[in-house]
């Protein structure tokens, strides 16, 4: 399987369990790895692959209008969006919530999902 990736993508959303977390949107850092059809490399046609700029725009736009309690739910939302809207066959979503705990550089979640064919 061929893969494209977006590492270090920043997006804002309302996320968290605690009242103090829900007062304003937080910036999250996403790493996305997206499985694409192997034919995308063979014919050099953008229509046969996943356009990563469109993925970035769609994820940011969707998260901007959503709110989540858990990073797990947010990751599931992003994975579903990529699989359903972009025809990806597989996706890995890693989301980091930086600076949320004292003396911890990163807290996050990582999931992998695939589309049923």
Catalytic residues: 97
Place of tokens 């990736």: 5
Residue 53 DSSP symbol: H
Distance CA 54, CA 108 (A): 24
Hey, what's the torsion of the CAs at 14, 18, 21, 25, to 10 degrees? 10
């Amino acid at each position: 399987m061929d893969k494209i990736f977006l590492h270090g993508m920043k997006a804002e959303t309302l996320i968290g369990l605690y009242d103090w977390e829900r007062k304003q949107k937080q910036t999250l850092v996403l790493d996305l790895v997206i499985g694409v059809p192997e034919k995308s490399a063979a014919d050099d046609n953008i229509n046969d692959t996943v356009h990563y700029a469109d993925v970035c725009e769609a994820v940011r736009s969707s998260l901007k209008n959503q709110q989540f309690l858990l990073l797990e739910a947010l990751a599931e939302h992003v994975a579903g969006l990529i699989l359903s809207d972009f025809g990806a066959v597989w996706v890995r979503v890693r989301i980091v919530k930086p600076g949320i705990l004292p003396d911890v550089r990163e807290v996050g979640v990582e999931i992998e999902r695939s589309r049923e064919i």
